[in-house]
Amino acid sequence: MKGTSGRGPEAATAQPYWNPYLAGIGIGLVLLATFFIMGRGLGATGAFSALLVWVMSLFSTEYVTSNPIHSGYWNDGSPMMVFLVFLTIGSFTGAAISAALAGRSGWSIGRGPNISPLARLALAFVGGLVMAVGSKLAVGCTSGQALTGGSMLNVGSWTFMIAVFIGGYAVAPLFRRQWL
Partner 1 sequence: MIAPIASHAGLTDTQGFVAAVVLGLFFGFFLERAGFANARKLAAVFYFYDMAVLKVMFSAIVTAAVGLWALGAVGVLDLSEIYLVPTHVVPQFVGGLILGVGFVVGGYCPGTSVTGMATGRLDAFAYSAGILGGLAVYGEIYPAIESFTQRTDLGEITFPDLLGIPRGILVALVVVGAGLAFVGAAKLEKAFASRRPRDLAPT
Q: Select from 65, 77, 90, 116 the one that contacts partner 1 (CB under 8 A).
A: 90
| Residues in Cβ contact with 72 at an 8 Å cutoff, skipping those fewer than 6 apart | none
Q: Assess 58 for contact with partner 1 (CB under 8 A).
A: no
- What is the nearest approach in angstroms of partner 1 to the Cβ of residue 24? 3
Q: Assess 80 for contact with partner 1 (CB under 8 A).
A: no
Q: Which of positions 123-152 make contact with partner 1 (CB under 8 A)?
A: 123-152
Q: How far is CA 162 from the centre of its chain?
A: 18
Q: Assess 107 for contact with partner 1 (CB under 8 A).
A: yes
- What is the nearest approach in angstroms of partner 1 to the Cβ of residue 170? 7
Q: Assess 96 for contact with partner 1 (CB under 8 A).
A: yes
Q: Assess 37 for contact with partner 1 (CB under 8 A).
A: yes
First to last CA, the chain: 26
Task: Return d(Cα 50, Cα 80) in angstroms, integer.
Answer: 6
Task: Return d(Cα 134, Cα 128) in angstroms, integer.
Answer: 10
Q: Assess 177 for contact with partner 1 (CB under 8 A).
A: no
Element (H, E) at 30: helix 20-38
Which of 5, 89, 82 lies closest to 40, judged by CA? Answer: 82
Q: Select from 65, 77, 165, 177 the one that contacts partner 1 (CB under 8 A).
A: 165
**Number of chain positions touching partner 1 (CB under 8 A):** 132
